[in-house]
Structure 1
Amino acid sequence: MASVGYARVSTREQHAEGQTDVLDASGCEKVFVDYASGTLATRPALTEALGYLRRGDTLVVTKLDRLGRSVKNLKQIADELHDRGVGLRALSQGIDTTTPGGRLFFHMLAAIAEFEHDLIVERTHDGLAAARARGRSGGPKFKMTANKIRQARAMYNAGGHTVQEIADTFGVSRPTIYRHLQGDAAGATSPM
């Protein structure tokens, strides 16, 4: 009966040591680490960890959000582990599915998280519908107004500024400036 750790950080620039140190201290014999976003369907180290686990083992994570992409995905993983006779421990949440109380607590948290997600989606849809009824649409407010586009075009045509300097002046990215210059210059003769 082995404790096997799983850690995940979103990018290579992030450090997994914070998680791996906790997993090592909790007695994990082996620790698998993914450097990938939790939303990605393929996480090679998780696949390897799941393949490594045997009946009676326990998969240990520091927090549940390191394991699942969503509540649904987390529940699928937990159910798969349970069917295989493998436990699940989330150290910071005090969850241990090898006990009846731990399984109950896990399912309660999963149900609450799913309920909260559904409420957020419902409120978002209601808010968007109310805004549409008032003639407004969602989405970001554009930083480049027609006046700012004219000013950017004048700066560009004068030739005294780089596109990066123009972008910095208006607090936008270079691609934004290029997009507006190209859109504004449909009939203009100056090169992009």
Structure 2
Amino acid sequence: MLVGYARVSTQEQDTSVQIAAMHAAGVRVIFEEKASGAKFDRPVLRQCLASLKTGDHFVFYKLDRVARSLSDLLKILDRVERSGACIRSLTEPIDTTTPTGRLMLQILGAMAEFERSLIRERCMAGQKEAMARGVHCGRALSVDDATAVAIVEAYATGLYTLKGVGQRFGVSDSVVKRLVYKKTKPNYRS
């Protein structure tokens, strides 16, 4: 039996292209998930892998829909093989019933991990450059500038704990901590 797995990272995205390709390939049982591929422990993926039986094919649209690191990919491959199933990609030359297919799976998995690392590196460099120009990165503060200064000053008196300052100003402990750390540790990144 062909058992499909379709995944997108966010609720705003949809799996329609992946699902259509699977239907065209004859896949009738499809597990669909909206979760980051960076996380290995995904409930629907776990359920999909647990459903595999001897002779089944674990089918996906593209390798990066299943795993973003080689170590995660190898764990998934091991689980699929222990169930007696094999892996098949609809867009890449992957078929683990052959030694060449297994090799391609590992090469493409390593490339996916490399690509993810490059993207992360570029994002971090962009954020660092933006911060150097004074651009605020991350969520907007939940308090105005005057309140932020008052929070830091109240904590600096030593009369209040982080929690106490938070209660006094009606904000969470994490907001207080972020403001205090930003003021006292210039290299702190929230």
TM-score (norm 1): 0.62
Q: Do 2:6 and 2:65's aligned partners in 1 also have CA atoms closer than 8 Å?
A: yes
CA change 1:109–1:174 in 2 (3 A) is closer
Q: Which residue of 2 aligns with 1:140?
A: 131
Tell me the CA shift for residue 89 of structure 1.
1.0
Give secondary structure in 2 for the equivalent of 1:95: coil
Alignment of 1:23-38 (within 5 A): 23-38=22-37
State the match for 1:175 in structure 2.
Answer: 141
Distance in structure 1 (CA, Å) of the matches to 2:85 and 2:140: 52
Aligned-residue offset at 1:181: 2.7
Q: Taking structure 1 as reference, are residues 89 and 173 closer, same or farther at Cα in structure 2, changes over 3 Å only? A: closer
1:111-133 deviation line (CA, Å, top 9, x unaligned): 4555x47986xxx7xxx9xxxxx
The 2-side partners of 1:16 and 1:117 are apart by 22
Q: How many angstroms does 1:8 deviate by?
A: 0.6
SS in structure 1 opposite 2:131?
Answer: coil
Matches within 5 A, 1:1-192: 2-113=1-112, 116=114, 140-141=131-132, 142-143=134-135, 175=141, 178=143, 180-185=145-150
Paired-residue identity, %: 35
Counterpart code for 2:74: K
Unaligned stretches of 5+ residues in structure 2: 154-168, 171-190
CA distance in 2, matches of 1:76, 1:180: 48
Matched residue type, 1:175: L
d(CA) in 1 for partners of 2:11 and 2:135? 32
Compared CA separation, residues 104 and 28, structure 1 to 2 (3 A): same
The structure-2 alpha-carbon separation of the partners of 1:25 and 1:175, relative to structure 1 and needing over 3 Å to count, comes to same
Q: 1:71 to 1:180 in 2, by over 3 A?
A: farther
* 1: CA distance, partners of 2:47 / 2:129: 42
Question: C-alpha offsets along residues 131-165 of structure 1, whole Å, 9 cap, x if unaligned?
Answer: xxxxxx88833337xxxxxxxxxxxxxxxxxxxxx
The CA distance in 2 between the partners of 1:10 and 1:119, in whole Å, is 17
Which protein shows a greater Rg? Answer: 1
Query: Which residue identity is paired with 1:64?
Result: L
Secondary structure of 1:42's aligned partner: coil
Distance 1:119 1:52, change over 3 A: closer
> Which AA in structure 2 matches 1:24?
H
TM-score, length-scaled by structure 2 = 0.63
Q: What's the RMSD between the two structures over aligned residues?
A: 3.4
- Structure 1, unaligned stretches of length 5 or more? 129-136, 145-171
